[in-house]
């Protein structure tokens, strides 16, 4: 796999097409096993509204949200353990994150054709010196990145299947979100939709 060079996006490092098609297919097979062990669920916002993105996780922790707020929990909301992070996913982290520690959470977000994710910061982790690494699979997603403070100008880029994005250093706490996906732009998944993985050190 020829390493593509990183493109800077407000201090984030974007690796367009880092994963070729066979690597994407292998990852999807790993993720099917994760979803079989830890089914997707729809978290609720603090305000009690179900999110349009469905989620699950692998690793020591998964992210969870309800009226009590946003937090990491050490078991699936159904009661069972989170499955281990697949080796292929760990290898990506070790190759691209530049982090000193291994991830403790691989959050899996599933976007159906109408799902989106509002601008937010990833700040439920204890150590902001550790980056967040994101992997996009399936249909294109319109990623918006803003500033550390709320408001101000933003930039948007389409994240495509196989793209990897590292949010680290000064970019670790930038606001970001997904405005929409473009259903049918990828043939990787059997139905329209997008999978995003984010790998995080939690503690």
Strand partners, 106: 58, 199
Q: How many residues bind ligand SIN (CB under 6 A)?
A: 10
List beta partners, residue 158. 142
Cα dihedral value 189, 190, 191, 194, nearest 10 = -10
Tell me if 198 contacts ligand SIN by CB under 6 A: yes
Nearer to ligand SIN, 99 or 108 (CB): 108
Q: Are 82 and 60 in contact (CB under 8 A)?
A: yes
Residues 97-136 that bind ligand SIN (CB under 6 A): 109, 117, 134
Among residues 122, 125, 140, 163, the one that binds Mn ion under rule CB under 5 A: 122
Beta strands in 82-193 (DSSP E): 105-111, 117-120, 132-138, 140-145, 155-159, 164-167, 176-182
Q: How far is the CB of 63 from ligand SIN (least distance, A)?
A: 8
The reply on whether position 56 binds ligand SIN by CB under 6 A is: no
Binding flag, residue 160, ligand SIN (CB under 6 A):
no
Q: How far is the CB of 192 from Mn ion (least distance, A)?
A: 22
By the 10 Å C-beta count (0-12 exposed, 13-18 middle, 19+ buried), 1 is classed as exposed
Site residues, ligand SIN (CB under 6 A)? 109, 117, 134, 141, 143, 159, 176, 178, 196, 198
């Amino acid at each position: 796999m020829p390493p593509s060079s990183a493109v800077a996006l407000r201090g984030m490092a974007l690796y367009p097409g880092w994963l070729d098609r066979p690597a994407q297919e292998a990852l999807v097979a790993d993720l099917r096993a994760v979803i079989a062990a830890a089914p997707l669920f729809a978290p609720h916002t603090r305000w009690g509204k179900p999110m349009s993105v469905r989620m699950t996780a692998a690793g020591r922790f998964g992210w969870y949200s309800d009226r009590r707020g946003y937090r990491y929990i050490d078991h699936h909301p159904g009661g069972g353990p989170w499955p281990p992070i697949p080796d292929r996913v760990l290898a990506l982290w070790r190759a691209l994150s530049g982090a000193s520690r291994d991830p403790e959470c691989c959050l899996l977000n599933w976007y159906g054709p109408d799902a989106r994710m509002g601008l937010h910061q990833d700040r439920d982790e204890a150590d902001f010196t550790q980056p967040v690494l994101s992997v996009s699979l399936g249909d294109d997603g319109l990623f918006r990145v803003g500033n550390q403070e709320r408001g101000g100008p933003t930039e948007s880029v389409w994240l495509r299947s196989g793209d990897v994005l590292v949010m680290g250093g000064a970019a670790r706490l930038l606001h970001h979100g997904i405005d929409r996906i473009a259903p049918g732009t990828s043939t990787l998944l059997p139905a329209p939709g997008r999978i995003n993985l984010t790998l995080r050190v939690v503690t």
